Amino acid sequence: MKGRDVVSLADLTAEEIMQVVATAEHFKMMAKAGMQPRPLVGKTLGMIFHKPSTRTRVSFEVAMAQLGGHALNLTAAELQLRRGETIADTGRVLSRYLDAIMIRTYSHADVVELAQAATIPVINGLTDFSHPCQILGDLLTIKEKRGRLEGIKLAYVGDGNNVAHSLLFGGSKVGMHVVVATPRGYEPDAGVVERASEFARASGGRVEVLADPLQAVAGADVVYTDVWASMGQEAQEEERRRVFGPYQVNGDLMARAGPGSVFMHCLPAHRGQEVTDEVIDGPQSVVWDQAENRLHIQKAILALVIGG
């Protein structure tokens, strides 16, 4: 995977996704044993943030440091982008200084354009359309908790947003049964569902989009949710609270899931809205392991695309 972009999980093969997960497992095992390989000595990652971040910023910066490299934080206010330089020109210039770029922004088209112009790997840290690094970490977590990915039923309950899109892409690629339950009018992008369905047919997986959360979680191995109003949707928050109220993940909903089921959330969580305290703090919750695994996945991605 050396030199590869990670813009969308739709662009990666199932084998590449599993290679990232296996590499992350290796790094995590070594870290727990007190060993730290340093394959990125002398390498520099530029991190562009148009959206604030906790997990993405810290996990990428720590990953680079632990692997022997350096991460350079670049806010929108510090780049010439705010003065009219194109995203493509920025990519061409940064390619002369850096070994890779991670960008967390609103427009997915900007990340695609950046990747096309840059001659170094571009990693999508989040866009309004896609969140591939998050879902790679989620796949690692599911494999740890449930022992496999193929045949696992994951029920995503909530907004058909960037996380839902990447779960559909990633899950369908590795043979999972991914069910999205969301209110009418808030479904994931139809093109994403169509492509994910094609991936599922090839992998032996399955994709469904439903309106009924109870039907979606029935027998699920994993129940997953996200905030009802993402960054940039604050004006819709009151309306979304009303619409998504029946989609709250609470004890009653979790009781409908399969035996040994786990609860996942990409964080940050709005407690009392999309999830109750009894669930996120309960015995089925794996959200903190999920958050930790972002670090191990970032290490894997960086080592594979920069280090080779």
Q: φ, ψ for residue 116 (rounded to 5)?
A: -70, -35
> Among 131, 177, 240, 265, which one carries the catalytic annotation?
131
Whether 89 is catalytic? no
Tell me the pLDDT tens digit for each residue of 187-204. 999 999 999 999 999 999
> Among 50, 104, 206, 265, which one carries the catalytic annotation?
104
Give 303 or 82, the one with higher predicted confidence.
303
Whether 131 is catalytic? yes
Concatenate the DSSP letters of all residues of 268-286 into one string: ---BTTTB-HHHHTSTTB-
Percent of the chain with pLDDT over 90: 90
Concatenate the DSSP letters of all residues of 75-122 into one string: EGGGSGGGGT--HHHHHHHHTTT-SEEEEE-S-HHHHHHHHHH-SS-E
Predicted pLDDT at 246: 97
Q: Enumerate domains of the chain plus CATH numbers.
A: 9-131+294-307 (3.40.50.1370), 135-290 (3.40.50.1370)
Give 78 or 178, the one with higher predicted confidence.
178
Tell me the pLDDT tens digit for each residue of 3-56. 999 999 999 999 999 999 999 999 999 999 999 899 999 999 999 999 888 999
Whether 206 is catalytic? no
Single-letter code of the amino acid located at 99: D
> Among 133, 134, 177, 265, which one carries the catalytic annotation?
134
Is the N-terminal amide bond of 268 cis, ω within 30° of 0? yes
Tell me the pLDDT tens digit for each residue of 51-88. 888 999 999 999 999 999 999 999 877 777 656 788 99
> Among 110, 159, 221, 226, which one carries the catalytic annotation?
226
Give 238 or 250, the one with higher predicted confidence.
250
Tell me how crowded residue 302 is: count the other CB atoms within 10 A of its CB: 28
Q: Is 272 left (phi over 0), alpha (psi -120 to 50) or beta?
A: left
Q: Contact, 122 vs 91, CB < 8 A?
A: yes
Report how far residue 96's alpha carbon sits from residue 127's, in angstroms, rounded to the nearest whole number. 24
Whether 294 is catalytic? yes
* pTM of the predicted model as reported, rounded to 2 decimal places: 0.96
Specify the 3-state DSSP secondary structure of 241: helix
Q: Using 50, 70 and 90 to split pLDDT, how confident is the model at 2?
A: very high
Predicted pLDDT at 173: 98
Predicted pLDDT at 271: 97
> Among 146, 294, 296, 298, which one carries the catalytic annotation?
294
In the predicted model, what is the mean pLDDT of the chain?
A: 95
Predicted pLDDT at 308: 63
